[in-house]
Structure 1
Amino acid sequence: MVQRSSLQDIREQTYKARDAWWTVLLVDPVAARLVRLVSPYRWITPNLLTGLATLLGFGAAACFLMQDRWWLVAGALLFHVSFVVDCMDGKIARLHGTGSMFGAWFDFMFDRLRAFLCAVALFGGQYARTGSKAYLWALIAVTFLDLFRYVNAHQMGRIRQTMREQLAEARGFAPAPVVEDPTVVPHGPRARLRHSLQSRRIRTHLISGIEFEMAVFIIGPLTGWVLQTSAVVGALLLFFELWLIVRLWQATRAFPVALAKAHASAAVAASASRQRSDEPEREFTATTPQ
C-alpha cells in the first residue's frame, strides 16, 4: 500500500514562511495536493518536474503564437499549470531532502527561458496580428523588467546577507531570529495590514516577479487586455522595486552605526568577562597566608 504524507505534514515541511500572494492563494492549495499524490513515487524528481514545467511553458508559448482570442486563453491556462508544476519541484525537494545546487541552477535557468519564450510568443504574435509597434515596445519592457527584478533581488540579498554576517561577527555570535507573537495585533493601519498579510504567509512586497509574470502571461491573455495589463503591472513592479531600493538605502546608511554599536557592546562584554575570570584569582590571593 502506498504511504502518503498528510497535507498538514506537506504544508509544514514545504510551505515557505513568506511567499507571494498569488502562490499562497492560487497555487499552494493545488500544488500541495498534487505533491501528496506524487510524493511516494521517488522517480518523480524535482528536475523531472522542472522539465515538465518547461515543456508546459513551451506549450503556452505555442498557443500565444496562434494569436487568436481562444488560443490566448489556452496559453494563459497552460502557463498557470506550468507554474503550479514548477512550484511542485521545490516542494518535492524540501519534502524528500533531494534539493541540489544543480537543481537550483536548472530551475532558475529554465524559468527564465520559459518566461522569455512566452514573452516573445505573446507580444510577437500580437504584433504579427495587428502590426502595432506598441507590442514590440512592450516585449522590450517586459523582458527588461523581468531581468531587472531578478538581478536586483539577487544583489540586494547579497548585500543584506553581508551586513547580517558582519553584525554577527562583531557581536561574536549568530543573531537569534526574531519571532513575532501572532497574538499581538500591531497598532496603526500600515502595521495592521502588514500583520494581517504575514499571518497568512503573504509577504508585503505585493507585486513581485511572480505577480508580474502571472499578470502578463495569464491575466492579460485571459482578458484580452495584453498591453494594458502589462503597462499597469509593470508600473506597479517598478514602484515596489523602488520601495525595496529605498529600504536597502536606509539600511545601508544605518549599518555603520549598528556595526559600531555591535563592536562596542562586544568590547564591553569581553571586558566584563575578563573581570569575572580575574575575580577567583584575586580572592585566592587575598585568602592565601602571606
Structure 2
Amino acid sequence: MRKLSVRAVQKLTCKKRDAWWTVLLVDPVATRMLCWLARFRFVTPNRVTWAALFVGLGSAGLFLRGDRMSLIIGAALYHLSFILDCIDGKLARLKGNGSVFGGWLDYVFDRIRVLFCALALMGGQYLRTHEAYFLLAALVVVFLDMLRYVDALQIYKMRMSMRTKIEKVTAERKAAEAKAAAEQAAKTEQFEQTQRLLRARQVQQGLQARHQTPQSRPAPQQAQPAAGAEPKVVFMEDLLRENPGIEADVLKQHAGTGEVVDLHAQFRGRFPWYTRVRQALLRSRIRPHLISGIEFQMFIFIVGPLIGQILWTTAVSAVLLGLFELVIMYKFWLSTRDFTRVMDDLAPAPQTVGTVADHLFAGRHRGRVPAEPLPPADVEERFPAPQPYEDPGFHPYPQPEPEPYQQPQAGYTYVSPLGSYVPADHQATQPIPVQVVQRVEQPWTEGDGRLR
C-alpha cells in the first residue's frame, strides 16, 4: 500500500461529525498511528478490536489495585484502548475490508471493557476505603452505559421506521396520482377519438360539422410523470448534515423537485438558537450531543483517576449524561409529533372517523317518541322494524316468561333434583344416634408394661 499523508487519511477515515473528545484528543493520534499500521497486511480491523479489548482489560487490572500510580497508568491504558477502538473502524474504511461481524464484535467488546473497568475501578476503591458509595457508583455506571446505547439504538430504529413509512406512503400517493392521471388521459383520448369519428362521418355525409354538430371542448390533458421517474423524498436532517452552514429554509427552497420532509420542525421552532450552535459545532466536526457515552466513559475512567476524584467525577458525569438523554428523548417526542403531522398531510384520515354508522339509527327502539300518538300506518312508516343484520340483539316481539316455581302440596309426590319420586312428607334428614361412652380409669401396674 502506498504511503498516504495524514491529511488524506483524515479525509478518508474520519467521520463528518463525531464526539468532541474523539475529534480533539483521539483523531490526531489515531490517524498518525493508522498511517503506520496500514502498511502491514497482517493488521486487520478485527485484530485491532481484540487488541483494544486486551489493553482495556489490562487497564481494569490496574484500576483494581487502587493506588495512585496504578490509577494513572490505568487511565493512560484506557485511553490507548479507546484509540485502538477508533483505529479499527478507520482501518476498515481505509482498506475497505469491514464486515458485519466486525461491527458486532466492536460493539460487544466495548460493553465488556466498560463493565470490567467500572467494576474494577469502583471495587478497588471500595477495598481501600470500605465505603459503600463506590459499589453504588459501579451500578450507576453500568446502568447508564447500557441505557445510553440501548436508547440510542432504539431511537435510531424508530427514526428509520418513520422514514420508511413516509417513503412508502409518498410512493403510494404518487402511484395513485399517476393512475388517476393515466385514467384521465385515457378518457380524454377516447373523447377525442369519438369526436374524430363523428367529424369523419359528417364529412362523408357531406355535412359541415361546424354548423350541424356543436363541438365539445376536450378536457385539458394533465402532465404525466416520466416513465422511469420515481417519487423521491428528501429529509431535512440529511440536508442539514450535508450542508452544515446553510439555513433550513434555504435548503428547502433549493431542494429540487423532491418532497422535503422535516421531522424536527417543532424542535427548531421552539429552540431557534439550536440551529446556530449546531452549525458552529459542525464546522469543526463536533456533534451537538456534547455529553454522550464516549464523554461519560472518558470522564470516569480517565479524568477521575487522574485528578483523584473518582466519586465526584462519576456523579457529575452521570447527572450530565442523564440531562442530555432527557433532551434527546424530548427531541424524539417532538419528532414523533412531526411524523404524525406529515402522515396526516400525506394520507388524511376519512371524515367518518368517530361517527356512528347510519344503520345503527334504524329501528323503532332508536327513534324519538312523538308528543302525540300517531296512526298505525304512520307508526309503521316512521318506525320500521329493524332488520336482523341491523341489530341482532333486538327482539321486536315479547318473549314468553318462564312459569314460576310452585310449592308441592302435601300428599303428592314430586320429582327431586336427584330424579326419583319422593313422598312430600318424607323427612329429608334423620337424627343421628349418639352413643355415650363412659370413661373408666384403669390403674397402671408394673409388670409386662401393659395396661391392666
Give TM class, smaller chain: 0.7 to 0.9
Name the structure where helix makes up a greater proportion of residues. 1
Query: Could you give the per-residue CA deviations for residues 195-249 of structure 1, whole angstroms, max 9, x where no partner exists?
Result: 1111111111100000000001000000100000000010000000110001111
Q: Does 1:194 align with 2:278?
A: yes
User: What RMSD over aligned residues (CA atoms) do the two structures have, in Å?
Assistant: 1.8
Partners of 2:344 and 2:41 in 1: how far apart? 51
Q: Deviations over 1:244-280 (max 9, x none)?
A: 001111111221211232347xxxxxxxxxxxxxxxx
- Are 2:41 and 1:42 aligned? yes
Counterparts of 2:317 and 2:128 in 1: how far apart (Å)? 23
Which residues of structure 2 form unaligned runs of 5+? 172-230, 249-270, 349-452
Q: Within 2, Cα distance between the matches of 1:21 and 1:15?
A: 13
Instruction: Please give the residue correspondences for 1:135-284 in structure 2 after superposition, counting only pairs within 5 Å.
Output: 135-172=134-171, 173-176=231-234, 177-179=238-240, 181=243, 184=246, 189-263=273-347
Q: Deviations over 1:105-146 (max 9, x none)?
A: 111111111110000110000000000000000001111001
Matched, 1:14 2:20: no
Change (3 A) 1:234 1:185: same
Give the drift of 1:175: 3.0
Distance 2:246 2:100 in 1: 39
Call closer, same or farther: CA 1:102–1:81 in 2, change over 3 Å: same
Matched, 1:119 2:118: yes
Name the SS for the 1:132 alignment partner: coil
Partners of 1:98 and 1:237 lie apart in 2 by 34
In structure 2, what residue type is equivalent to 1:125?
G
The Cα of 1:83 is off from its aligned counterpart by 0.3
Which whole-Å CA distance do the structure 2 matches of 1:104 and 1:119 have between them?
A: 23
Q: CA deviation at 1:8?
A: 2.6
How much does 1:50 deviate? Answer: 0.4
Cα pair distance change 1:105/1:184, threshold 3 Å: closer
Q: 1:175 to 1:16 in 2, by over 3 A?
A: farther
Query: After the TM superposition, which of the residue ranges 6-15 and 207-216 deviates more from structure 2?
Result: 6-15
In structure 1, what is the Cα distance between the partners aligned to 2:92 and 2:159?
26
**Aligned pair count?**
263
Structure 1 residue ranges without an equivalent (≥5): 265-290
Q: Distance in 2 between matches of 1:158 and 1:96?
A: 28
The equivalent of 1:26 in structure 2 is: 25
Provide the residue aligned with 2:75 in structure 1.
76
Counterpart of 1:150 in 2: which secondary structure?
helix
Give the fraction of aligned pairs with identical amino acids, expressed as a percent: 44
**Distance in structure 1 (CA, Å) of the matches to 2:41 and 2:282:** 33
8 Å CA contact 2:62–2:73 kept in 1: the answer is: yes
Distance across 2 between alignment mates of 1:138 and 1:153 = 22
TM-score (norm 1): 0.86
Bigger radius of gyration among the two: 2
